[in-house]
Amino acid sequence: MSILAVLEQRAGAWHRMSWETLAAAQQLSAELKQPVSAMVMGAEVSALAAELAGKQLERVYAVEHELLKDYTPDAYTAALRQLIAKVNPRLVLFPHTYQVRDFAPKLATALERVMVSDVVSHRVDGDSVVLVRQLFQGKMNVDVRFAGDAPHFASFQAGAYRADKVAAGSAAVEKFTPELAPSEIRTRPLEWFRESQRAVDLTAAEIIVSVGRGIKEAENIPIVQQLADALGAELAASRPICDNGWLPMERQVGSSGQTVAPKLYLAVGISGAIQHLVGMKGAKTIVAINKDPEAPIFEVADYGIVGDLFQVVPALIEEIKKAKG
Amino acid sequence: MKIVVAIKQVPARDSLLRLDQAGGWIQESDLSYEINEPDAYALEEGLQLKEKHGGEVVVLCAGPARAAQTIREALAKGADRAIHIEDENLRALDPLALARLLAAPLKAENPDLILTGLQSDDLGYGQTGVILAEVLGLPHATLIMQVDKQDGGIRVKRELEDGWFQRVDMPLPALLTIQSGINKLRYATLMGIKKAKTKEMKRTTSAELGIAPQSTIRFERVYLPEKTKHTQILEGSPKEAAAKLVEKLKFEARVI
């Protein structure tokens, strides 16, 4: 029995959340006194596996096959299922990436298990693990336990564990070649692409004013634009604003948009769903203006004003103009 | 094309949630409910595909008696008929148990395409669609932003992280989980609301379907999240609060 961390790469580059999952896996390994191994898969992953060999792990599995070159849920599930049958882990841990969301539930189902997804923290209770998840878009938390037999599956939310906590060491690399046939793969993935040239680089902005559903309609956007202008800030938005076409997609902050870490992030009428928080919680100073005192955005804010943005924002613009002379 | 759209009823988005006495769940009695937002986009996509290619849109919903209201709204928007798996205790089920329940009527319906939202706004597993595909033995794709019919199947546009997208070709039948923002949601018309009253809404139960779902994970305790950061709430009138904030940003945080 052991712990297996499933790490993600594309075209030879790590997904940044891989390291967070590795840190979580090492921590659980120490607490449960169980060895931890890591795996990486693709057509050719020797360089990535060699990098993992320098971490505190029992073993590194380099899972290689020509049919793993481009991600498909069928090939990834089949390959990982074979590795799990060989390694027989107690816990299989993933970063909660879009790709993991696409195949890990399928894998767990094939083994008649349920993955506890999007975990934000854990504790070890004797011999068992209690995982903490969010409910209702972050308004509630729940402690979750596994009720059935191992293997157990969990995925970790972006930013829940710190990548810089990964411990160095040395580990043996083992190659594993799964048996895969082209006929098993039912979907055909085409090339990756981006829609626009990204005229707006929010990552370079020092101050960002970001707007959410609280703005109510497109006609009200100028109110926050004026606030951004007064602060010399870039204007950004949470996903629903861009979905509605009130601001272009390239101004979206969050898991499907840009990840930013400005000096000042002013969230106006944003409740703070996790998909948004992962894109901005690295900001140095966070201000939230929201009418709901229970909004999750206040969990990460340094300063908060509970109130009607249509009254607060004009007052704020006036005060900023005064302060700037 | 025969399309089934799986939808869920969840507490309205701006609900103030309170814990129940036992700390096992939230107080449900005084809440209002609505369709899970990503499922609303899945329904709209189903309706648009039907308008383009012909066929039928069937709404499938597992939920307590109150979910009938949300199902009626889906029928009013244009779905042809609905199946309601009525059960007051579904929230005790994990997503695999729920998917097995949803799979039972789907096997009989045998649709070309199954659509559902990418995740629910209440439990937020983001897994039910993918699990359902596996239970039914169907190919799937998640986070879909466009669906085009082509010879021998469909071509979909998947959303990836950091502004990337990818097109994927896949055969039918298949299951897609739909991302919010894929289309523009319609409102029900008066005519639609009137018509909905005459549309078929088949009610069934897990007992009738012959399924006794078992969960492999269990909720131990539900609670309010602890604040990890100390937030200074600035009180007073909008003007006073704004003045305090500017003062703090200038002299304490030194960011303006």
Q: Model confidence over B42-74: pLDDT tens digits? A: 999 999 999 999 999 999 999 999 999 999 999
* Domain regions of chain A by residue span: 3-184, 202-324
What domains are defined for chain B? 2-209 (3.40.50.620), 228-256 (no CATH)
Q: Which of residues 207-236 of B touch A (CB under 8 A)?
A: 215-225, 227-229, 231-234
Q: The tokens 């006929």 sit on which residue? A: A183
Interface residue A226 vs chain B (CB under 8 A): no
How far is B183 from A135, CA to CA, in rounded Å?
Answer: 26
Give per-residue burial for A35-47: e unless 16+ CB within 10 Å, then b: ebbbbbbbeebee
* B41: nearest Cα among B145, B113, B114, B129: B145
Answer whether B203's CB lies under 8 Å from B82's CB: no
Nearest to A75 by CA among A64, A86, A67: A67
With 0-12 / 13-18 / 19 or more C-beta atoms within 10 angstroms meaning exposed / middle / buried, residue A125 is exposed
Sites in chain A below the pLDDT cut of 50 = none
**Contact call for B223 and A312, based on CB within 8 A:** no
Identify whether A73 is preceded by a cis peptide bond (ω within 30 of 0): no
pLDDT in tens, A252-285: 999 888 889 999 999 999 999 888 998 998 899 9
Two domains, one topology: A3-184 and A202-324: yes
Looking at residue A207, its pLDDT comes to 96
Rounded to 5 degrees, φ, ψ at B202 are -85, 125
- In order, the DSSP letters of B53-121 are H--EEEEEEEE-TTHHHHHHHHHHHT-SEEEEEE-TTGGGS-HHHHHHHHHHHHHHH--SEEEEESS-S
Nearest to A29 by CA among A48, A1, A65, A54: A1
Q: CA-to-CA distance for A136 and B73, rounded, in angstroms?
A: 22
Best of A153, A243, A252, A309 to mutate (most B CBs within 10 Å, chain B): A243
Over residues B187-203, the mean pLDDT reads: 96
| Cβ–Cβ gap B95/A114 under 8 Å | yes
CATH 3.30.70.100 for domain A3-184: no
* Confidence (pLDDT) at B16: 86
Q: Which fold has domain A202-324?
A: Rossmann fold (3.40.50)
**Residue of B231, B242, B243 with shortest CB distance to A298:** B231
* Contacts A11 to B, Cβ<8 Å: none
Which of the four pLDDT bands, split at 50, 70 and 90, describes residue B223?
A: very high
Task: Assign A315 to helix, strand or coil.
Answer: helix
**Inter-residue contact A215 to A271 (CB < 8 Å):** no
* Residue B171 touches chain A, beta carbons under 8 Å: yes
SS3 A48: helix
| DSSP, res A59 | E
Beta strand pairing call for A3-7 and A172-176 = unpaired
A256 to chain B, any CB pair closer than 8 A? The answer is yes
**A248 touching B, CB under 8 A?**
no
Q: Residue A73 is encoded by which pair of tokens?
A: 């849920």
Average model confidence (pLDDT) for chain B? 94
- What pLDDT is attached to residue B188? 95
Asked if B163 lies within 8 A of A198 by C-beta distance, the reply is: yes
A209 in B contact zone (CB under 8 Å): no
Rounded CA separation A144/A112 (Å): 18
Q: Output the pLDDT for position A197.
A: 62
Nearest chain B residue (CA) to A317? B242
CB–CB contact A114 B180 (8 Å): no
Among candidates A86, A1, A12, A22, which has minimal Cα distance to A46?
A12
Across the interface, whether the CB atoms of B163 and A115 are under 8 A apart is answered no
Distance from CA of A290 to the nearest CA of B (A): 11
Does residue B143 sit at the A interface (CB-CB below 8 Å)? yes
A67: left (phi over 0), alpha (psi -120 to 50) or beta: alpha
Local structure of residue B26 (DSSP, 8 states): B
% of chain B beyond a pLDDT of 70? 100
- Cβ contacts of residue B14 below 8 Å, gap of 6+? A292
Q: Closest Cα of chain B to A171: distance in Å?
A: 31
A209 token code pair: 């004013």
Amino acid identity of residue B239, one-letter, is K
Q: Closest to A302 (Cβ–Cβ): which among B130, B143, B232?
A: B232
| Residue-level pLDDT at B229 | 74
Q: What gap in Å lies between CA B167 and CA A191, rounded to an integer?
A: 7
CB atoms within 10 A of CB B53: 12
Between B199 and A256, the more confident residue is: B199
